Amino acid sequence: MSRPLPDRAPAPPPVLDSTLVNRAKLGDIKAFESIVERYFGRCLRFALGMLRDPGEADDVVQETFVRLYRALPRYEERQRFDSWLFRILGNCCRTANLMKQRRDSVDARDEATMLALPSADRTDAMFDYEWGDEVRRALAEVPEYNREIFLLHYIEGFSYEEIERITGIRQSALKMRVKRASDFLRTRLAGVYRG
């Protein structure tokens, strides 16, 4: 029996209270903690999808929030807070991947790395577990520059206009990258998809 198609457009992220940001800007650590609590899961999800070594995800997310907190006094409210956060996170992920690439003389997309991918917190059927695992393996094989845009758009829910502001890449190029990532996933997963 085929399952209904899920909605591709994720629910819009909740708007962050600007008072919370302003208090964090002034050094209120409690306000900053509220911000971290609100975004930690999304950041970790994005990092797990982006990093060549998912085991580094916790450290990369920590580094992101540390950078964000140090830069908060310079944050201007005319840009969306989550856009700014994910720009920093994207930079941290790319840097971590570059460092990882330098450490490894061989292609990091080897089987050992794939096997190390953590599983999402799923408790439903074994098929879903295996499917989720296959999806993450396939995603890890998508080139980084396509994967990042795919994740920002379809998983984190940013519009192309917003991603253009985050990355500086033109929308036409962004759409092409998302299409290439989608095409890759479709081809790669066709053999294991059971509807």
Partner 1 sequence: MADGRIDRDPIVDHAIESLRALPPSQPESVARVVAAAARARAQDVAPDEDDLLADGLEEPRGRARRLTTIAAIAAGILLLAGGFALWRVEHSRTDVATGSPVSGHGAATSFAAAQGTNGENSLDALLIPTQFVFDGRARHVSLVGDFNNWDEGATPLEREPGSTLWSATVPIQRGRHIYAFMVDSVWTIDKRAPVARDPDFGVTGSVILVGRP
Nearer to partner 1 by Cβ, of 80 and 180: the residue is 180
Nearer to partner 1, 115 or 164 (CB): 164
* Cβ at position 186, least distance to partner 1 in Å: 5
Q: CB neighbours of 49 closer than 8 A, spacing ≥ 6?
A: 136, 139, 147, 151, 155
Tokens (6 digits) for 193: 């998809």
Q: Based on CB atoms, which residue is closest to partner 1, 77 or 170?
A: 170
Cβ distance 5 to 195 under 8 Å? no
Task: State the minimum distance, in angstroms, from the CB of residue 27 to partner 1.
Answer: 6
Closest separation in Å from C-beta 29 to partner 1:
5
Classify burial at 59, counting beta carbons within 10 Å of its beta carbon; exposed 0-12, middle 13-18, buried 19 or more: middle
Minimum CB distance to partner 1 smaller for 70 or for 78 = 70
Count Cβ neighbours within 10 Å for each residue of 90-102 and write b for 16 or more, e otherwise: bebbeebbeeeee
Q: What is the distance of C-alpha 152 from the center of its chain?
A: 6
CB of 169 to partner 1, least distance (A): 5
- Nearest distance from C-beta of residue 10 to partner 1, angstroms: 6
Report the residue number, 77 or 143, with the smaller CB distance to partner 1.
143
- Residue in the structure block whose two tokens are 């996933």: 185
Element containing residue 93 per DSSP (H, E):
helix 81-103
